[in-house]
Amino acid sequence: MEAVVATRPRTCALQAPCSLPGARELCRRAREFLAETGLAAADLDGWELVLDEAANNAVQNARPADRQKPIRVEVVAGEAVVEVRVTDHTPGFDFPDVAELPDPEAESGRGLFIIRSLTDEALYLRGARENCLVLRKRRSPGAAPQPDPQQELAEARQTLDLMTEELASSYESLSAIFRFSAELQADVPTDEFARRWLDQLLRITESDWFILHLKDRDAPCLRVAATSFVGWSGESLCLDPAAGTSPSVEVRAATERVDVWFDGQTPLPAGDPLAHLGGQGCGFAHPILVNDVLVGVLVVARRSNNPFGAGQVSVIQTFADFLGIQIRNTQFQEEQVRARLITRELEIVASIQHLLLPGQLPSAPRAALAGFYRSAREVGGDYYDALPTGDGNLLLVVADVMGKGLPAALFALMFRSLVRARLDLAPRPAEFLAWLNRHLSDELDRAGMFITAQLVFLDASRGEMRVAGAGHPPLLLASASGKATEIPSASAPLGLLPKEMFSEVCHAIPEGCALMFTDGLIEARNRAGDLLGIDEVKSLLAHAARQGESCEAIKQRLVQRLHDFEQSTQPADDTAFIVIAGQHAKP
Amino acid sequence: MKTENHGATLVITDIDRLSATNATWFEELAGARLSDTHRTVDVDLSHARFIDSDGLEALIAVRSRLVGRQGRVRLLSPAPMVKTMLKLLHLDRVFDIVNN
């Protein structure tokens, strides 16, 4: 009996970046391997086509998060059967037992039919993280693999070389990452750090040029952050599709969030600035994403058409992604520093503003005073003051600059300075408002703001008060008998009409109490969104006046009511008020 | 790939392969060169060593553009591999195939 010696199947494991050029390279190398095993030409054509369809499917349907993972192909060339396994990172699909040919006019759907038609067996194994397409086909008669010890030895050496290259790439990549991590401790600007980092990358991956665009934080565009083209500063690339800019592989990589490759077969699009800059070599644009947020796009390329190896592509992608994390961290730190600076500056403005508010209000003729101020933010636009003007007289001021925050606070300070500069006008509050209006109109108009204000002059000798308002809530009065009335303001706020006329009302200093306030008091809201309202404030004042409460007690009553009503909700507006308690009030 | 205008015919030549890597490019090129006066697109496939489903579907897409204006796509001297594919996918009934 003659002994039958089975020939050991020859195997080949290949991988390539998840891109169409990568898929093509896989097919080419698999075909070369199969040719070496003695496969007939017709079988080679069939396998190249089947592999092309399977690998393209793996690229075109890869999950976005998995597009950095390579496509893997394993080929097992046996004596009678060739088996090919293609591993993909797509969501997977139901592989039909029988592939139907689509309508002749259909512009998709023929890939599966081709795979089914040109193989004897096709299995699709779906997994949680990856899927595997297993394809088998019998060899055509007369073509069997010829074992060739020399060939096998050469292949083993080649595999060893590839593994060595992969290891070397990984070592280069890791050592560079450690080296640059140490440099991060130094105070190096982001763009300079990126340039040095990417210069190293060119050396490691035998590339010729790179351009790093970073996404602008405030606009939909990419700006050049670093490049190997010395002296070239480049132009920003617009990411807004409506802008209709020139085609660019970088814009495509940024918007589609996939690696975009170019080479002799798939040249850079006409009009792409890179075509003029780097020439028609080969390379790819890699979108840099951190937590699904686009940080930038890196293009690395060669002037020749010598394609990148899988190890080199992996190094470039790793470098780019690590760089993206560093850039994002730096941006985050800068944002935090900026936010802390702004907060600190606001705290300073707030402390200045509080210092400028009167601490202890001065004694008033035939009345006692108490003031309250609360800002809805760190700084606010409300202001109150009580200014002695001589002979025991007093000017009381309450004002509200439209809006909140720093701009409102700055205008409140400006208003305060002007009031203090012309206290000689205090006895004539309407004239004083007209003067303030003339001197603030230009600035307020430029800023698109206005101020409501109320001036009350307490005349000691006459026992009266003269009231004038500019678009401000009314002065509330409550008699000792508990009757509440209003003195309204009929004029426009300061800053709206430069020639506005203001009127004033003369009234005896009340024996009960009076209240000057900004709208933050009556427009306070509770959790249900209800307003506190002027009627409730009037009612509260009337009750206090009847009880003959002191100004401090009335102030506390108002503050407590505000607190209870708002139910700890964040106030929407600044609030300021002055309580004027008459002679009948308790001390 | 190259394009030439011969009256109402747009001729596309120099195609050594038509596959996923350049199918979109082919479609865009044809779309950019096609004008309202064109009624026929001749695609010279005599040097096309390889064509896949994406390549064939790009040809179908160009054909769809022309059908609306009573036009046609002619495939000139398809190489053997292309011819096999056209037959396998029954597309030899869809395109006008001209063998020199």
CB pair distance less than 8 Å for B94 and A106: no
Residues of chain B contacting A266 with CB distance shorter than 8 Å: 21-22, 25
* pLDDT exceeds cutoff 50 at A13: yes
Q: Check residue A376 and report its DSSP letter.
A: S
User: For residue B17, what is the nearest residue in chain A, using CA coordinates?
Assistant: A265
Q: Which of A108-117, A330-339, A470-479 has the highest mean pLDDT?
A: A470-479
Q: Which of A7-16, A278-287, A523-532 has the highest mean pLDDT?
A: A523-532
Position A157 scores a pLDDT of: 73
Report the gap between the CA of B55 and the closest CA in chain A (Å): 10
Tokens of A456: 């009350």
Three-state DSSP class for residue A559: helix
Mean pLDDT, chain A, as a whole number? 85
Over residues A209-268, the pLDDT tens digits come to: 999 999 988 888 999 988 998 888 778 888 887 776 667 889 989 988 888 888 877 788
Position A5 scores a pLDDT of: 39
- Considering only CA atoms, which of A215, A163, A231, A553 is closest in space to residue A372? A553
Q: pTM here?
A: 0.45
Position A189 scores a pLDDT of: 63
Question: Confidence class of residue A474 from pLDDT cuts 50, 70 and 90?
Answer: very high
Residues of chain B contacting A104 with CB distance shorter than 8 Å: 60, 90-91, 93-94
First to last CA, chain A: 129
CB pair distance less than 8 Å for B60 and A56: no
Question: Average pLDDT of A466-494?
Answer: 94
Residues of chain A contacting B91 with CB distance shorter than 8 Å: 104
Report DSSP letters for A333-345, one per residue: HHHHHHHHHHHHH
Count of alpha carbons within 13 angstroms of residue A136, beta-carbon side: 8
Over residues A369-378, the pLDDT tens digits come to: 999 988 876 6
Closest to A24 (Cβ–Cβ): which among B21, B64, B88? Answer: B21
Position A76 scores a pLDDT of: 87
Question: Confidence class of residue A50 from pLDDT cuts 50, 70 and 90?
Answer: very high
Question: Confidence class of residue A6 from pLDDT cuts 50, 70 and 90?
Answer: very low
CB pair distance less than 8 Å for B19 and A52: yes
State what percent of residues in chain A have pLDDT above 70: 88
User: For residue B91, what is the nearest residue in chain A, using CA coordinates?
Assistant: A104
CB pair distance less than 8 Å for B81 and A45: yes
Question: Confidence class of residue B47 from pLDDT cuts 50, 70 and 90?
Answer: very high
Q: How many residues does chain B have?
A: 100
CB pair distance less than 8 Å for B88 and A107: no
CB pair distance less than 8 Å for A21 and B21: yes
* pLDDT exceeds cutoff 60 at A12: yes
To 10 degrees, the CA torsion angle through A328, A334, A337, A339? -80
CB pair distance less than 8 Å for A110 and B20: no
**How many whole angstroms separate alpha carbon B91 and alpha carbon A321?**
45
Question: Average pLDDT of A101-116?
Answer: 87
Over residues A164-189, the pLDDT tens digits come to: 666 666 666 666 666 666 565 555 56
Largest Cα separation within chain A, whole Å, is: 140
What ipTM describes this predicted complex? 0.93
CB pair distance less than 8 Å for A24 and B64: no
Closest to A104 (Cβ–Cβ): which among B50, B88, B94? Answer: B94
